[in-house]
Amino acid sequence: MYTKSLFKSPSATENEPRINADLRRTALICGRLFVFLLILLYGDITTAQVHGRVTMSLTKPGEMKVEAELSNQVSSWSFRNAYAGILGIAERIEDFRAADADVKKAAVGEYRSERKSRRISYTVKLPKPTLADVSHLSWLVDDRGVLMLADLIPVEVHSLSAAFVLPEGWTLESSFPRDANGVFEVAEPEKAVFGIGRGLRKSSTTVDGMPLDIVLSGKWPFKDGDALERATSVMARYLALTGFRLHDKSVIMIAPLPIKDRQTSWKAETRGSTVVLLMNPDAGFKLWKAQLTVIFTHEILHLWVPNSLKLEGDYDWFFEGFTLYTALRTALDLRVIDFKEYLNTLGRVYDIYRAHPDTLSLIEESERRWASAGSQVYVKGMLVAFLFDLMMRKESGGQRSLADSYRDLFTGRLADGADANEVIINVLGSTPVSRDFIKAYVENSTAVDLNKFLPAYGMSVLFTGKGSQLRVDGDLNQDQKQLLRSLGYRG
């Protein structure tokens, strides 16, 4: 539009098509010249997709030998060195070699050669994990382990065929398909997780057409079928919540936490279509099946959010904080907890929130999640989701809630790589009231004061020596009763 206004005049109107055509030809020539100059300076800028045929061998305790033949000749190889606040991951890589090439280590996890090569080999050390990294990195302890290809394969490899050589009596499970020879085809290595060990047990089902495997190792005070049944009920809830059917087979791997720690009951990570759940067998849960369900309500939702959303950016406030609240609502809907525990949980979260500084917006907290304590992403995010849910129920007269936003998110046409914060804020802020709320509590650093909000909904916070207690007020009007009953209140 600027070009047209620049050239347009009463006498030049008839020449405008010719002028615009000349401009387009000039732009095309300049564009081609720019690309040609880039190729001269840096080589072919269209990076080829590298496929690898990889063999991973567990031949010695605590280490893995990797041999790979790549589809393209490569002269540089890089390994992931940081993830989830964990640094120095690539220090596990040793004895890196490339066929017919003199390889030099440029930095931790960075290898270079003046000659290109298709065949590489190296060793990966798999030391005993720590509590900080046990759910995020590959590990091997005694007769079981978890392999995450993101820290085992060079980042240049975009897809691979993987074969495994395991100790006698060991088996391996994954969400990826394998052929008759036991070779796995992995389209996205950064999302691939493999459970390995002796005595792995697998149960399979489908949830409204979505395949699900439960893989267990170790002894538990619940039956394998109990875990499958609980996971099935949660997946059915989230299919109904989102209206979105997962494309890939989901796998839930349950194994004993390989670290003795009385303070830690469980650790988990959901990567790609795999949930890894590491539980302390000595946690002493009174109701193990109920505890499984509570964990599943959070981790299984990650199969949808963020793992099925192809969005970009740091939006942990939503896929962690809002997920925590949605998981709490799901546990209440499944009658794993009652309404009193629903309020008690929110009270405990409020105490944690008030004990930590709140000077950043939730978007800023998400950007710095791994560089700081990151607790506000979870606790403030959960409280904001709670207040948003209340506000939506009241504003719509009980016709809408936070749950409807998930369906809106998945039924909308989202461009791959779209800005996650922009997309989600637009979905949540669909009305002037909700837009102002999200601006204040997500985009800005407005502090959460429950006693400022809750009286309008027939609730209040009582501060005691044992912590904050959310309670329902005695004198409720009809609208408050209707709203609270929609939450699960039966008083």
Q: Are residues 259 and 367 in the same domain?
A: no
Mark which of 196, 225, 260 sits at the end of a domain: 196
Diameter over CA atoms, the chain: 88
What pairing do the DSSP bridges indicate for beta strands 86-87 and 82-83? antiparallel
69 lies in some domain:
yes
Residues 219, 173 share a domain: no
User: What's the confidence (pLDDT) of residue 17?
Assistant: 40
Grouping H, G, I as helix, E, B as strand and the rest as coil, residue 206 is strand
- Residue 9, classified by CB atoms within 10 Å of its CB into exposed (0-12), middle (13-18) or buried (19+), is exposed
Spatial contact of 164 and 178, defined as CB atoms under 8 Å apart: no
Spell 357-383 as b/e; 16+ CB within 10 A means b. Answer: ebebbbbbbbbebeeeeebbbbbbbbb
CATH assignment of the domain containing 187: 2.60.40.3650
Give the 3-state secondary structure of residue 172.
strand
Give the number of residues written for the chain: 491
Same structural domain, 247 and 113: no
460 lies in the same domain as 319? yes
Number of domains the chain contains: 4
Q: Does residue 28 lie within any of the structural domains?
A: yes
**If DSSP codes are grouped into helix, strand and coil, which group holds residue 215?**
strand
What is the spatial distance between Cα 139 and Cα 92, in angstroms, rounded to a whole number?
A: 11
| pLDDT at 466 (0 to 100) | 87
In a domain, 304, yes or no: no
Q: Are residues 350 and 466 in the same domain?
A: yes
* Those residues with Cβ within 8 angstroms of residue 467's Cβ, 6 or more apart along the chain or in another chain: 347, 348, 351
The reported pLDDT for the residue numbered 374 is 66
Residues 6+ apart with CB under 8 A from 430: 408
Residue pointed to by tokens 């347009």: 8
Q: Please report whether residue 135 resides in a domain.
A: yes
In a domain, 128, yes or no: yes
Q: Bridge-partner residues for 311, per DSSP?
A: 418
220 and 251 housed in the same domain: yes
What CATH number is attached to the domain comprising 276? Answer: 1.10.390.10
Distance CA 438, CA 24 (A): 43
Q: What is the per-residue pLDDT for 41?
A: 37
| H or E stretch covering 23 | helix 16-42
Domain shared by 379 and 261, yes or no:
no
Helix (H, G, I), strand (E, B) or coil at 13: helix
CA distance 417 to 419: 7
**Is residue 471 located within the same domain as residue 361?**
yes
Domain end (from 159, 174, 196): 196
Q: Do 21 and 74 share a domain, yes or no?
A: no
Domain assignment present for residue 284? The answer is: yes
Is 458:481 a contact under the CB 8 Å cutoff? yes
B/e letters for 418-432, b = 16+ CB within 10 Å, e = fewer, are eebbebbbebbbeee
The answer on 156 and 33 residing in a single domain is no
Q: Are residues 249 and 206 in the same domain?
A: yes
Say if residue 132 is in the same domain as residue 250.
no
Q: Give me the amino acid identity at 292.
A: L
Domain membership flag for residue 365: yes
- Last residue of one domain, picked from the residues 249, 274, 299: 299
Query: Residue 28 sits in which domain range?
Result: 2-42
Q: How does strand 144-148 pair with strand 193-198?
A: antiparallel
pLDDT (tens digit, 0 to 9) for every residue of the chain, 491 residues total? Answer: 333 222 233 333 334 344 344 444 444 444 444 433 333 333 343 356 899 999 999 988 899 999 999 999 999 999 999 999 999 999 999 999 999 999 999 999 999 999 999 999 999 999 899 999 999 999 999 899 999 999 999 999 999 999 999 999 999 999 999 999 999 999 999 999 999 999 999 999 999 999 999 999 999 999 999 999 999 999 999 999 999 999 999 999 999 999 988 889 999 999 999 999 999 998 888 899 999 999 999 999 999 999 999 999 999 999 999 999 999 999 999 999 999 999 999 999 999 999 998 999 999 999 998 877 668 999 999 999 999 999 999 999 999 999 999 999 999 878 888 999 999 999 999 999 999 999 999 999 999 999 999 999 999 999 988 899 999 999 999 999 999 999 999 98
